[in-house]
A and B are shown apart, each in its own frame.
Chain A
């Protein structure tokens, strides 16, 4: 005989229909973990000392790209400007100037050459043969180049011819004699 207090099938089904799980409250897991860490049961995760990871914002990336493009374009513009200016100077010195101006320029550079030569001679140590030789060669080189230009301008100019002749003889005298060849006959 069944006990009247026993569950009826309907009651049994009603109990079976009850949920067996429930969603725990939000944050309970983290609070429990924190408590266990405080008690030393769970290890406390080590936070890296390195710099925090930076997330590049798209707007920042676009700005950086625009800035680099602007820098590149301005570099090209500056380069073109400098190139154009040097071409202008060259034109002004060469083709654009008159004969009188070029004559004046030669005189000016000639004066500068003489001044430089004077300064060189003053600074040259007369007791040092090597430095005296170097200064003399520099001065004679410039003198020879000038005489060469004068002889081209006036081929019959006796002074220029004499200077060139003297320099040629000096060069020839300073060169070592060619080595004598020894022929061995068998």
Chain B
């Protein structure tokens, strides 16, 4: 049987997950987690985007208060995204968020507002998180080779959010990034390919193995709990 992802007890120290709940986003709409929700948000609430734009122009003039407001509007979602992408390592996530804001303010004058500010910010954060994952001591990307059959993992049924978070965090970096972006954030494979600099086919393949690994981890956990 191929090796399974690391168990919860093996998680690196310093990993952090927020409590459950708080599922809204910065636009105040319920998060679907799937589909092109970023576009619909942007179209549904143009006033908020205009407000972002007004704040951004004030930031370009050096206004600290405007920056703080912009930061408070977008950072909770940004922080959650990078925290999940980086496997719950809060120190890494903190660095990534800070770096994201530094880069965003550097490039703010070139942002053309063709997409929502939050989307643009997420794209910057994804690049930074990807760089962090590359710099890290690499964990084996493929926990089981592709020429072997995937483990007999049944879809998980009822699962606790914390267990799911831990199982996602325990996935190898490449699997986790694709799974988070596709299944949690609702990106398409094309968008993932662009964001992570990989081919669309690679994204699909990674997602396949990520789901298998996740089901195996959660299945084992559920069995352990019931036993």
Contact = CB atoms under 8 A, between A and B. Distances in A.
A8 B208 CA distance: 14
A32 B208 contact: no
B63 A32 contact: no
A16 B33 contact: yes
Contacts of A21: 18, 22-26, 76-77, 79-80
Contacts of B68: 29, 33
A17 to B, nearest CB: 5
Contacts of B64: 33, 37, 42-43, 45
A22 B22 CA distance: 8
Contacts of A11: 155-156
Contacts, number: 121
Interface string A1-45: 000010110111011111111111100110111011101011101
B98 A35 contact: yes
A23 B63 CA distance: 24
A41 B105 contact: yes
Q: Which of A21, A29, A37 has the most CB of B within 10 A?
A: A21
A32 B102 contact: yes
Interface in B105-124: 105-106
Contact of A42 (B33, B63, B208, B212): B63
Given A12-B34, A17-B23, A20-B80, A25 B90 contact: yes
The DSSP consensus for interface residues of chain A is: loop
A22 B212 contact: no
A8 B76 CA distance: 29
Nearest to A27: B94
B67 interface: yes
A36 B161 contact: no
A20 B67 contact: no
Interface residues of A, number: 31
Given A14-B161, A33-B67, A36-B102, A20 B24 contact: yes
Interface residues of B, number: 49
Given A5-B212, A11-B155, A19 B34 contact: no
A2 to B, nearest CB: 12
Nearest to A16: B33
Given A14-B161, A36-B102, A22 B80 contact: yes
Q: Which of A28, A32, A33, A43 has the most CB of B within 10 A?
A: A32
B97 interface: yes
Contacts of A24: 75-76, 79, 94, 97
B20 interface: yes
B186 to A, nearest CB: 10
Contacts of B63: 42-43
Contacts of A16: 31-34
Interface in B29-75: 31-34, 59, 62-64, 67-68, 71-72, 75
Nearest to B90: A25
B164 interface: yes
A78 B193 CA distance: 95
A-B pairs, 5 with minimum CB distance: A43-B62, A21-B76, A22-B80, A22-B18, A20-B31
Interface of A: 5, 7-8, 10-12, 14-25, 28-29, 31-33, 35-37, 39, 41-43, 45
5 contacts: A19-B19, A21-B23, A21-B25, A28-B75, A32-B97
